[in-house]
Amino acid sequence: MWAGLGMFLLVGLFRHAAVWRGRTEHPPRFAEGLTRFIAQKKAVSVALTVLLVVMALYNLALQAGAVWASVRTGAPFAEPPTTYYNDLFTVMIFTDVLVLILSLAASGQYEMVFRNAAFVVAIILIRFALAETYPFGAALALMAMTFSVLTVLLFNYHARLSGGPGV
């Protein structure tokens, strides 16, 4: 219960920290790379959406098959072994690494590379949190979320110092 409340608070803090925007003017070379990066992220998002829908449908089919087998045989319903959330976060980790590599091509700025790499670390921690038992899973999830909030705050701080783009 307290971990859920803490996560709710951390999501609010993250959203608040992510609202800040830095300068919108960028040098032409940076704007060109940013436009290409945004197009690449959109393509990755479409592919990720298709993959996640296929994964969800596959897991729903497994569930339906288990229910059908239970109804047909009269045996008690046994949940089929699903690894949807583990697979989901594994896909997200690989996607985040791909976005990190794409962001390096768009901008070699230390702040952006650090922010994107830190988000990969946070996703990995959340993936571990899902596999852990109480109370370690909740603690790992809170640690990952706190790490993300601190990352956004530090990124915004460095962006203000250097006059670069915000979140």
pLDDT in tens, 116-144: 889 889 988 988 888 888 889 999 999 99
Higher pLDDT, 145 or 160: 145
pLDDT at 24: 46
What is the pLDDT averaged over residues 21-26? 51
What is the pLDDT averaged over residues 44-65? 92
Residues 151, 118: Cα–Cα separation, whole Å: 7
Other CB atoms within 10 A of residue 135 CB: 10
What's the distance, CA 166 to chain centroid?
19
What is the pLDDT averaged over residues 40-57? 94
Give the lowest-confidence range in 141-145, 151-155, 159-163. Answer: 159-163
Higher pLDDT, 69 or 150: 150
Residues 155, 167: Cα–Cα separation, whole Å: 8
pLDDT band for position 46 (50/70/90)? very high
Other CB atoms within 10 A of residue 109 CB: 17
pTM above 0.95, yes or no: no
Contacts of 39 (CB under 8 A, 6+ apart): none
Find out whether the peptide bond into 135 is cis, omega within 30 degrees of 0: yes
pLDDT band for position 111 (50/70/90)? confident
Angle at 117 between CA 115 and CA 122, to 5 degrees: 90
Largest CA distance in the chain: 68
